[in-house]
Amino acid sequence: MNQLITEKDIVYMGLEKSEIDECIRTAMHLSGNIIDRSDLHARDELERFINVLMGEVAELMTIKWLHNNNKYARSAVNKTSKTPDLGHDIEVKKENTNDLLLCSVKSSISYKLSPPRILEICKLATKKSELRDINIQVYFWLTLSPQSDNNRVTVPSIRQSAIIGWFGKNDLKNFSTYNHESREAPADTLKNGRTMNSLLSYLA
């Protein structure tokens, strides 16, 4: 893999109101129809909606960033499905061959860590079986105890979110488990991934 990801490498990608509205409409539909994975903790309706909405925002942010960099990208998710997703969110194309590549976009939230600590401590939110050709991590972070003259951020916010980086399908070899869950987690932290800018050279 390349050199370590630093805070300057992460990508901030704003969304217009119309784009956020689109994410909200999709999340409203999906949260009432999807079936949670068996290894996911029980979620009530509000938690499920927020989780789904973050996923929709993360997917759209990633597609928008790729389009802004003149790369092919389209959603690969059937938004009308009532079954668990297939583990990938976006289709992209490989440079030179135009072969389709499957891209997973994971969204997570931290209630206490800022981006530098997210890079140091947090991991790609995936199991080994969920790895796809390209695996992107988007993070939202809260600010519960801000410095003076700053507002608290107690719910997910576009302005406190970023596309952190990506891993190839074969980049992650070792998996352990989260401290509080039996769900698998990679041994490597996000700083050991690849920068988003490095992804552009792989894609058509």
Averaged pLDDT for residues 1-24:
93
Query: Residue 135 pLDDT > 80, yes or no?
Result: yes
Q: At what angle do helices 45-68 and 17-31 cross, to 10 degrees?
A: 140
Q: Looking at the domain assignment, is residue 139 inside a domain? A: yes
Please check whether residue 98 lies inside any domain of the structure.
yes
Helix (H, G, I), strand (E, B) or coil at 67: helix
Comparing 78 with 8, the larger pLDDT belongs to: 8
pLDDT at residue 162 tops 70: yes
pLDDT at 192 over 80: yes
pTM reported for the whole predicted model: 0.93
Measure the CA–CA gap between 45 and 150, rounded to whole angstroms: 31
Strands 161-168 and 100-110: unpaired
Number of domains in the chain: 1
- Measure the CA–CA gap between 83 and 182, rounded to whole angstroms: 23
According to the model, what pLDDT value does residue 36 have? 61
Task: Classify residue 1: in a domain, yes or no.
Answer: no
Q: Does residue 2 lie in a domain region?
A: no
For CA atoms 60, 133, 122, 34, the dihedral sign is positive
Tens of pLDDT, residues 104-125 = 999 999 999 999 999 999 999 9
Report the C-alpha gap between 45 and 32 in whole angstroms: 8
Give me the domain span that covers residue 116.
Answer: 7-77+86-202
pLDDT in tens, 18-57: 999 999 999 998 887 776 665 566 778 899 899 999 999 9
